[in-house]
Amino acid sequence: MNKKEAQRLNDVALNIIDLAHCLHTGTANEISQETWQNMFARGKNHEAARKQWRGWKEALERHGLCERVKEGREDHVILLPNAVEVAEALRAKAQAVLNRGKVERRDPDQVTITGQTFYLKVYGRAVRPLTDREYAALRASILEEGRIEVAIVVDPQGNVVDGKHRLLIADELGLEDIPVNVLDGDEEMLHRLAEDLNACRRQFTKQQLAELRRQRRARVEVQRKAGKSLRQIAAAEGVDYTTIRNDLAASAVDPDVEVQGSDGRVQPASKPTQGEAEARRQRVAGLVAEEKTVTEIAEALGVSARTIQRDISALGLREPTQPTGPEEPQGFGIVVQEVRLGETSWQGVDPEA
């Protein structure tokens, strides 16, 4: 029996157990299509329910779990008293095939390796656990290498941020040389890191990924409204610039909101249009004619000095220079000395000066 056949047998056994439970089996029980449909196919149209009922009857007969009785056009099924015991045996047989090669898994709250305790259920609670197949593949890989290659990430208290399954497998295999990176940070950041690391490994369902995107977009909106630039938000969220731009495109945030750059300057979020740039350059030309400095022009127009320098260059103008203060009068190199001789004094010119 292959796994596909075992899965079918397992489903049949479960159906029989459910049916027997609903009929409170223990003695022979009779069931008609109408009774069965009310129990297991309520809401289905008649033809679909009839087809499913026929499949159930065939399965019951095939495994010797019932007797069929015809009463006119009605076809009744009598479930035998030992149906549950037989169904349990069939299910055990199917499970033996389905669990062949399957690794028994544990789900402890913590593990202790070489005297260090790791706590497994603090971060990443929204992360989907590995499937049995994924877990078996990871275990086989670690067993083949004989060591943990990717470091476990923990906080200073030993709460695992990333690497729960690797730790469990290391504990199962008796591995002691475990690479560990200790990462300090606030709880929200570590929760997000745990989710991001596992999302990269595709351990989330589509629904979970959609919810994480929704949460990130909500955070992005808040940060954008607070005046942060796209690059600042991308750095805070640990994603690239394009992701943040797409998040904002899907949001209701005003794209023209002013942002504060890393230099502290507040400026429009988007680049000016060609018409706006031309109008600014005309104003720059006028201010240059008034002999304003680059710094003064930049402050007056609310842009950077570098932008003003580019505008002046594009206009073919000469960059205004910083005015200097009044010149200090130049000396003549003459030093006056006072020489005292006895009670008289004489003031003259130093011949060496």
Domain boundaries, the chain: 3-98, 110-200, 206-256, 274-315
Q: Do domains 3-98 and 110-200 have the same CATH topology?
A: no
Structural class in CATH, domain 110-200: alpha beta
Mean pLDDT for the stretch of residues 254-281? 65
CA 328 to the chain's CA centroid: 66
Q: How far is CA 230 from CA 4, 27, 87, 224, 268, in A?
A: 51, 72, 61, 8, 12
Does the pLDDT at position 3 exceed 60?
yes
Does the pLDDT at position 141 exceed 70?
yes
Position 121 confidence tier, pLDDT thresholds 50, 70, 90? confident
Phi/psi for 303 (5° steps) reads -130, 180
Does the pLDDT at position 307 exceed 70?
yes
Position 28 confidence tier, pLDDT thresholds 50, 70, 90? very low
> Which pair of structure tokens corresponds to residue 319?
């960059």
Mean pLDDT for the stretch of residues 283-309? 85
Tell me which range, 190-199, 235-244, 277-286, is most confidently predicted by mean pLDDT.
277-286
Does the pLDDT at position 200 exceed 60?
no
Q: What is the largest CA-CA distance in the chain?
A: 158
The helix-helix angle for 33-40 and 46-62 (nearest 10°) equals 100
Mean pLDDT for the stretch of residues 264-277? 66
Partners of residue 118 on adjacent β-strands? 111
The helix-helix angle for 294-301 and 305-315 (nearest 10°) equals 110
Query: Is the overall model pTM greater than 0.85, yes or no?
Result: no
Partners of residue 341 on adjacent β-strands? 344
Position 257 confidence tier, pLDDT thresholds 50, 70, 90? low
Position 222 confidence tier, pLDDT thresholds 50, 70, 90? confident
Phi/psi for 118 (5° steps) reads -115, 130
Q: Tell me the pairing of strands 180-182 and 152-154.
A: parallel
- What are the contacts of 334-340 at 24+ separation with CB within 8 A? none
Does the pLDDT at position 168 exceed 60?
yes
Residue 311, sorted as left (phi over 0), alpha (psi -120 to 50) or beta, turns out to be: alpha
- C-alpha torsion sign, points 163, 192, 215, 234: negative
Q: What is the pLDDT of residues 52-108, one digit of tens each?
A: 888 888 888 888 877 877 776 667 778 777 888 888 888 888 888 877 766 667 778
The helix-helix angle for 132-145 and 164-173 (nearest 10°) equals 60
**Could you say which of 2.40.128, 2.40.50, 1.10.10, 1.10.20 is the CATH number of the domain covering 3-98?**
1.10.10
Q: Where are the alpha helices (DSSP H) in the chain?
A: 3-22, 33-40, 46-62, 83-98, 132-145, 164-173, 187-200, 206-225, 230-237, 241-249, 274-289, 294-301, 305-315
Rounded Cα–Cα distance for residues 166 and 32 (Å): 53
- Measuring CA to CA, which residue among 148, 158, 151 is closest to residue 122? 158
Kindly report the number of other CB atoms within 10 A of residue 35's CB atom. 15
Rounded Cα–Cα distance for residues 114 and 276 (Å): 67
Task: Give the per-residue pLDDT at 221.
Answer: 86
**SS3 (DSSP) at 228:** strand
Position 177 confidence tier, pLDDT thresholds 50, 70, 90? confident
- Measuring CA to CA, which residue among 110, 168, 112 is closest to residue 138? 168
Does the pLDDT at position 337 exceed 50?
no
Position 118 confidence tier, pLDDT thresholds 50, 70, 90? very high
Task: Give the per-residue pLDDT at 265.
Answer: 59
Task: Give the per-residue pLDDT at 107.
Answer: 79
More confident residue, 249 or 160: 160
More confident residue, 336 or 54: 54
Mean pLDDT for the stretch of residues 321-331? 55
Q: Please state which of the ranges 16-25, 92-101, 300-309, 342-351 shows the lowest mean pLDDT.
A: 342-351
Residue pair 220/244 in contact (Cβ under 8 Å)? The answer is yes
Task: Give the per-residue pLDDT at 184.
Answer: 84
Residue pair 190/158 in contact (Cβ under 8 Å)? The answer is no
Number of helical (H) and strand (E) elements in the chain, helices listed first: 13, 12
Does the pLDDT at position 347 exceed 50?
no
Rounded Cα–Cα distance for residues 229 and 70 (Å): 77
Rounded Cα–Cα distance for residues 34 and 18 (Å): 17
Mean pLDDT for the stretch of residues 321-325? 60
